[in-house]
């Protein structure tokens, strides 16, 4: 779905430079289609993004609809 595709694109765009400059972990609590807990880890070496809780404690937790999330990142 659109949420999974958005996270796939984000994962592909994560670089060590982004991780070095951002140093943050973002958790998204999404409602609606493709909802659930998702994360973007821009703190751990290599960075990562995907479904589920982040590998380390999130610095920011955002709750929104999956439709708003997709609009925000596309």
In a domain, 10, yes or no: yes
Long-range contact pairs involving 21-26 (C-beta distance under 8 Å, separation at least 24): 24/59, 24/60, 25/54, 25/56, 25/57, 25/58, 25/59, 25/60, 26/54, 26/58, 26/59, 26/60, 26/61, 26/62
pLDDT digits (tens, 9 = 90+) for 62-72: 999 999 999 99
Q: What residues make up the domain containing 41? A: 2-68
Query: Considering the domain boundaries, does residue 74 fall inside one?
Result: no
In this structure, is residue 73 part of a structural domain? Answer: no
- How many domains is the chain built from? 1
> Residue 30 forms beta bridges with which residues?
36, 64
CATH of the domain at 53: 3.30.1050.10
Q: What is the pTM of this model?
A: 0.94
Kindly report, residue by residue over 37-55, the tens digit of the pLDDT. Answer: 999 999 999 999 999 999 9
Residue 39, in any domain of the structure: yes
Within a domain: residue 23?
yes
């Amino acid at each position: 779905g659109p949420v999974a595709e958005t996270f796939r694109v984000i994962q592909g765009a994560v670089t060590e430079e982004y991780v070095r400059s951002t140093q943050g972990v973002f958790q998204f609590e999404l409602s609606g289609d493709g909802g659930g807990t998702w994360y973007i880890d821009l703190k751990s070496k290599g960075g990562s993004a995907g479904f589920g809780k982040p590998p380390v404690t999130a610095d920011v937790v955002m709750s929104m609809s999956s439709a708003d999330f997709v609009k925000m990142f596309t």
